[in-house]
Amino acid sequence: MTPAQHESQSYPQNAATGVPSGVRIAGAWAWRVAIILVVSAMLIWLLSKITILLIPIMLAAIIASLLRPLVRWMKKVGVPQGLSVAIAEGGLVLAVIGALFLVGRQLIVGFSDLSQQAITGLIQIQDWLTSGPIGLSNDEISKFLDEALVSLQNNTNAILSSALGVGTSVSHFAVGLLLTLFILLFFLLEGQDIWAFLVKFFPRQARPAVDGAGRRGWTSLGNYARVQVLVAAVDAVGIGAGAAIIQVPLALPLSVLVFVGSFIPVVGALVTGAVAVLLALVANGWVNALIMLGIVLLVQQLESHLLQPFIMGRAVSLHPVAVILAVAAGSGVAGILGALFAVPLLAVANSFIRYIASRGWEHDPDLPDIYGLPQVIPDGAPVTDPGAAEASAAEAAGSGVVLEKPTHS
């Protein structure tokens, strides 16, 4: 055998064995991670095309996790299920409409006073431009205003297009609101049956794990929603009361804005706090604005050092760094809505993954009656009845599961 033939026969083996193990492991990880990223990007792209359906479903799920304990309590005291759902959802709608009506009246009254203060502020700015260090003349100011008016007239088409876009957004909002209320009604009324139907799509062996993980995710979602309402209420009361004490106009609408903005962690608090300081500056001057800034910082420090670590952290088991990264990623992918839903989705995913990783369905007290898994007595020793296990497994295979443990009257 010639040296060239020997080299040609040994080259493939040398090429395979000559690659360092670290490079082979990195390559194996690389193509798997690349596939995961590609599939994730495709999934996000597909979901972005059905946001008009996806957002109402997510909103309805969050609201249902808040109202479900109230519905369960009313059923426990003897109120029929349909009536309890109607009372819960109708009460929510009436509360929102009442709040909007009250805020609207405050805005109408407050803007009339604020407009006079804004005109006074504009006159002061004009005086400063003419007599201050800039030293502009009235003719130069008029020239700038005329140029701005001409630019506004030249961009009429763009303004009209933006107005039409706002009109389309309003129509989409109305459709989404109706869908949310409709979906919420059935989540509260038939949520267990809907979950049972969804679990049937999974293989029979995987149903206990999916059912248990879904229960944990639903619990985390409810905990997040309730704690976030508490945090938002504390922010709204603190900043609104402070604004009312130092006589900042529109204190009630400002507190409502803070309440809504607090549902977007980190970002919402910064934006609404800046609005409060700006409102104080326009209405009452620099000193009042600095006092308002101190109030906003005090309330936000109370939230970040007391409410978030001790209440939110225990409710959803998420590190503050994970919350910030989730908000940043969500806002980058889907804007404000992405920032709004990022943390609850992360909380649900965290509970789901933890349950699967710990094989929680093997010792979940809510599952044995459905799937025939080993019963766990108080001292922790598993006891299994083979006959009952087979019967329960057969029953579970044909009937599906429920999200919540059934209550027997």
Q: What are the tens digits of pLDDT across the range 95-127?
A: 888 888 887 777 676 666 666 666 665 666 666
CA 329/CA 327 separation, integer angstroms = 6
Q: Can you tell me the mean pLDDT for 357-376?
A: 69
Give the tokens for residue 334: 């889907």
Q: What phi and psi values does residue 376 have, to the nearest 5 degrees?
A: -115, 115
Is residue 368 scored above 60 in pLDDT?
no
For 214, how many CA atoms within 13 A lie in the half-sphere containing its CB?
22
Q: What is the pLDDT of residue 138?
A: 66
pLDDT tens, 213-233? 888 888 888 888 888 888 888
- Mean pLDDT over each residue of the chain, to the nearest integer: 75
Report which of 250, 242, 248, 241 is spatially closest to residue 111, judged by C-alpha positions: 250
For residue 137, name the pLDDT band (cuts at 50, 70, 90): low
Kindly indicate the confidence band of residue 243, based on its pLDDT and cuts at 50, 70 and 90.
confident
Instruction: Give the whole-angstrom CA distance, residue 220 versus residue 232.
Output: 18
Give pLDDT, residue 115.
62
Which residues is 375 bridged to in the sheet? 383
Q: How far is CA 122 from CA 116, 118, 279, 352, in A?
A: 10, 6, 15, 56
CA torsion angle 78 83 89 93 (round to 10): -120
Direct distance between the N- and C-terminal alpha carbons of the chain, in angstroms, rounded to an integer: 89
- The CA distance from 207 to 356, in Å, is 12
Q: How far apart are CA 179 and CA 56, in angstroms?
A: 6
Does residue 237 carry a pLDDT above 70? yes
Quick one: pLDDT band at residue 397, thresholds 50, 70, 90? very low
pLDDT of residue 240: 87
Most confident of 11-15, 46-50, 147-151, 295-299: 295-299
Q: Which sequence spans correspond to the domains of the chain?
A: 53-141+178-201, 204-364
What does the pLDDT read at residue 197? 86
Please list, in sequence order, all residues whose beta carbon lies within 8 angstroms of the beta carbon of residue 316, skipping any fewer than 6 positions away: 220, 223, 224, 227, 343, 347, 350, 351
Q: Residue 116, class by beta-carbon neighbours within 10 Å (0-12 exposed, 13-18 middle, 19+ buried)?
A: exposed
pLDDT of residue 339: 76
Tens of pLDDT, residues 193-210? 888 888 888 888 888 888
- Looking up tokens 């009209």 gives 160
Q: Do 189 and 82 touch, CB atoms closer than 8 A?
A: yes
Backbone phi, then psi, for 164, in 5-degree steps?
A: -65, -35
pLDDT of residue 34: 93
339, 264 in Cβ contact below 8 A?
A: yes
DSSP 3-state of 197: helix
